[in-house]
Structure 1
């Protein structure tokens, strides 16, 4: 769901724009000027011997230009949601907007095993893996369909909401295996929501493997808590 930028292309274009500047610096250091095609023409007044142009500053400058920072993810998502025709809510209305969703989700998800948490202007739905998935599987259990149906209905009523679907695992197993499993579980939840008319432009899907535990992995109950999928809801305000 997330978008990336072609850093190599940006760096190539940046270096192309910077080339004349470096050429001018080179010409000035040699006491000459630029001829056709960017070649250096030696001046007749220039001394026969000049100290070589220091190499390290030039390389350092080019390296700095190449390291172009990526546009923040929030900007990428905002473009996607605008292109999808979703209208933002005013900033002043964001707290009330989230409060209304929180009440609806609390009522709809009561008794399902899903924890509905309000953090400032965000809602976090903590979905334990034993409720959503069979052990070591990423296929959604049929008994969990009702929960995701309720979530998709609420998201349909409140379209100006970003949806982050994050997968997590316990610490049993390798980093690579758990990373893949967390991604597969997050993908499964996001695909289900998309199949219930939740616009894909609103969603970002990520797997965190075992890197973000919320409980101790030394106990059975702690590992069970860490095996989870989180849906984080954030208002799209402008």
Structure 2
């Protein structure tokens, strides 16, 4: 499970969702962290173990996540839902991710998670790789043809035997989208199954591929195939 870090220099943090809705406009101190406040450092496995909205049931509520994992760095309300952000750019404990919640019966339920940076999954390049790839951002969001072809494709339903997403992200940083599997219909999007998938897009030999990974009972994500971006 992830860790917590304490830092009095972090950006304003919401204490609870209820207090932010109730007292935000009247008292900005509701949102300010105190000296000993902590922020949870998420891991990929933490995110893989969360319960997301699907066709059978609603996911975790925003209050449940805050109560179990700690304060968010920020919250944005809109007509249809809520976005909670966990950001920390100080020292080695860097992370940048947002949770999207859908509003239903005056509560907010977890729909998806977007990862831009995650603690413990920064890119690690050898000196040879650094010389061959002077543009760090281009390197991080790109796979060579050989790397792409060497990915182990697991069982299309369970992911068993597939390459773990964590192994790829440790070498090639990329944005990750996590949510329950969906499909496009004539009436819009709808849930295709109750599987939780992680989608990651890389450039491969001038083309863009979206890699698909299915969540496992231990929170890991295993590779099941790709599609053109």
TM-score interval, smaller chain: 0.3 to 0.5
Q: Which has the higher helix share?
A: 1
TM-score by length of 2: 0.32
Q: Higher strand share goes to which structure?
A: 2
Q: Which has the larger radius of gyration?
A: 1
Which structure's relative contact order is higher, taking Cα pairs within 8 Å and 6+ residues apart? 1
Normalising by structure 1, report the TM-score.
Answer: 0.31
